[in-house]
Structure 1
Amino acid sequence: MQQDVLPRSTAPEATATRRTRISEGVRDSFSAGLGIFPLGIALGLLIIQAGLPWWLAPALSLAAFAGSLELLLVGMMATVTPLAAVALTVLVVNFRHVFYAFSFPLHLVRHPVAKAYAVYGMIDEAYAVSTALPESERSAPRLLAMQIACEAYWVGGGLVGVALGSALPTPVKGLEFALCALFTVLTLDAFRSRAELPSLLLAGASVTVALVLTPGTAMFTALLLFAGLLLARHFTTHTADRNVADA
């Protein structure tokens, strides 16, 4: 009898645990949502002000789900930029996501469909939020809930921006600063963690060198240089830890 009772009691507990982790993931998204939602509004406004159809806001948000890229694509669509230039821009701007996969906790997500969405939803804000969590508190439901919430903020903000852009009599200027402000906030959050301070210093050094040596392709150069420095730091730290363990 006791063996029959245990499986029945385990299922509700597992469901309650999953719901708790989903709630935690949604709460984790609040800080990022404070930047994502207004940025989505800026995207919707830019689309309307550029004379593009309103449905482009949700279409871009669902097809690409990359805030910085989408804002750039709006201007490129409005000016009918050649496809080759668009492709190069996409590569340069989103190339950083390749390096996110090195430390993003994708290994927690087992289901193939869920893992595919986790890769699709691996935006800057989701990466920043996930890396700030202790490893013991990370889980697949929490990660996915946070990513889904972030996309909801983005798509919802874009629709609100479209509505505002259609209602406002005159264009709103200065919206392009919204993206810069968001990355500034994420950087300041990372500064609060002393463990991430070396990485921030390496990032600053990479950007400085790239701006001096290759100002025309500074972002691409900075990303490659930063990745190399992170790998060097990883191997150096790993070697030092191994020497301490052997001693």
Structure 2
Amino acid sequence: MGLGLVPLGLAFGVLITHSGLPWWSATLFTVLVYAGSFEFLLVGLVTATTPLAAIALSAFLVNFRHVFYALSYPMHRLRGRAAKAYGTYALSDEAYALTAGAHAQSWPSARILYLQMFLQMYWIGGATAGALLGSLVPAGVSGMEFAMTALFTVLALDSVRDRRGDLPTPLLALLSALAARLVFPGQMLLAAFALFTAALLAQYLLSKKEPSRA
């Protein structure tokens, strides 16, 4: 999973260089912001001198999904305030996907923290290397942006395998995303999460009403 972050980091570093920002901006963004897809958006916002309030609102909308991640992230297994603080800060999509699976239910605090730390190090290293070598990459190169799509596809497949007896949930997620894309194309992410949450609540309430089997 960490190696999967390297091409994403390289693409981000190249974007930094081609946007006219200094190479160390890639390192700074990945250390302090560390928000994946929002970092790509932040480059455009910074170069366009977007007001701080608009940047804050964009960050909230793009990263709103982390509110849902926190519901099942194993915070109770982290020992100490510093561990909990870093675990919250470094809760990326990849870290959540790896720690939320059934195989990770027995992982101790140290393993969870080392996982998140190494994922961030891969991201920082890839972005820094991409920024330093960005001038060698043609501005019109295509295909690197597919690295993120491929990574999230792998995460989704792993999640489906972990929940083989719960296929309706992935289907609800897919239908929620399609409905949000058609009805709310400008706010697809937020709308998809809202629809998915409503569908899960409905599924839970219906399951509670079903008579229990002896």
Q: TM-score, normalised by structure 1?
A: 0.77
**What is the match of residue 170 of structure 1?**
138
Q: How does 1:24-63 map to 2 (within 5 A)?
A: 32-63=1-32
* 1:211 lines up with 2:153 in the alignment: no
- Given that 1:36 and 1:154 are in contact with CA atoms closer than 8 Å, whether structure 2 keeps it comes out as yes
- Given that 1:190 and 1:196 are in contact with CA atoms closer than 8 Å, whether structure 2 keeps it comes out as no
The alpha-carbon distance between structure 1 residues 99 and 57, as it changes in their structure 2 partners (threshold 3 A), is same
The alpha-carbon distance between structure 1 residues 135 and 161, as it changes in their structure 2 partners (threshold 3 A), is closer
**What is the match of residue 192 of structure 1?**
161
- Deviation string 1:39-62 (CA, Å, 9 cap, x unpaired) is 111111110011101111111111
d(CA) in 2 for partners of 1:36 and 1:130? 17
Shift of 1:101: 0.6
| Higher fraction of helix | 1
* 1:202 lines up with 2:188 in the alignment: no
Between 168-177 and 98-107, the greater mean CA deviation after superposition: 168-177
The percent of aligned pairs where both chains have the same amino acid is 45
Q: CA RMSD in A?
A: 2.2
- Given that 2:13 and 2:134 are in contact with CA atoms closer than 8 Å, whether structure 1 keeps it comes out as yes
- Deviation string 1:179-226 (CA, Å, 9 cap, x unpaired) is 222222222222323145332111111112212222221111111121
Aligned residues: 212
Shift of 1:125: 0.2
**What is the match of residue 95 of structure 1?**
64
SS in 2 for 1:192: helix
- Deviation string 1:6-38 (CA, Å, 9 cap, x unpaired) is xxxxxxxxxxxxxxxxxxxxxxxxxx1122111
- Given that 2:99 and 2:105 are in contact with CA atoms closer than 8 Å, whether structure 1 keeps it comes out as no
**What is the match of residue 198 of structure 2?**
228
Between 68-77 and 91-100, the greater mean CA deviation after superposition: 68-77
- Given that 1:43 and 1:57 are in contact with CA atoms closer than 8 Å, whether structure 2 keeps it comes out as yes
Hey, which bits of structure 1, 4+ residues long, moved more than 6 A?
Answer: none
The alpha-carbon distance between structure 1 residues 242 and 183, as it changes in their structure 2 partners (threshold 3 A), is same
Between 82-91 and 207-216, the greater mean CA deviation after superposition: 82-91
- Deviation string 1:225-247 (CA, Å, 9 cap, x unpaired) is 2122233434555x379945xx5
SS in 2 for 1:134: helix
The alpha-carbon distance between structure 1 residues 240 and 116, as it changes in their structure 2 partners (threshold 3 A), is farther
Q: TM-score, normalised by structure 2?
A: 0.88
* 1:108 lines up with 2:67 in the alignment: no
d(CA) in 2 for partners of 1:217 and 1:83? 20
d(CA) in 2 for partners of 1:110 and 1:242? 41
The alpha-carbon distance between structure 1 residues 184 and 220, as it changes in their structure 2 partners (threshold 3 A), is same
Rg: which structure is higher?
1
The alpha-carbon distance between structure 1 residues 169 and 64, as it changes in their structure 2 partners (threshold 3 A), is closer
